[in-house]
Amino acid sequence: MVVSREYNAIRNHLYTRENKDQINKRKRERYQRDREHILKQHKRYREANKLKRIAQRYALQHKFIDDKCAMCKATDRLNFHHIDYVDYKNPDCGITLCVDCHKKDHRTVIISNVN
């Protein structure tokens, strides 16, 4: 069993390596075909990020941050993590996380950039 699983993993790896050009070509073709759609998605992503920054600044200014991390109970390097950015003025729409837990949560730390 173990041998065949390893064999499959190696085969997948080889497939990806041997077909890299084809995979990249397909990606390029998709980009050309859906260019407008993809650009629109990027724009939406940027706008969502903008809202994220506004939300973080608001949380800082209005002291939404608790005295400890909701996950690991750490008391230093705390961030306010918004669960819902649209309703960012509502302190119930987020939780306090330390930097480490925040990174784990979505791998971006906004508050440390705001400071």
Q: Where on the chain is the footprint of Zn ion (CB under 5 A)?
A: 69, 71-72, 74, 81, 98, 101
Q: What ranges in 1-115 are assigned the alpha helix state H?
A: 2-18, 20-33, 35-61, 99-106, 111-114
- Shortest Å distance, C-beta 24 to Zn ion: 33
Closest CB to Zn ion among residues 17, 107: 107
3-state secondary structure of 95: strand
DSSP one-letter code for 77: S
- Shortest Å distance, C-beta 91 to Zn ion: 14
Burial class (CB in 10 A: 0-12, 13-18, 19+), 57: middle
Closest CB to Zn ion among residues 33, 106: 106
- Shortest Å distance, C-beta 35 to Zn ion: 31
Closest CB to Zn ion among residues 65, 98: 98
Closest CB to Zn ion among residues 48, 72: 72
Question: Measured between alpha carbons, how far is residue 65 from residues 55, 61, 70, 82, 111 in Å?
Answer: 13, 10, 10, 11, 11
- Shortest Å distance, C-beta 36 to Zn ion: 30
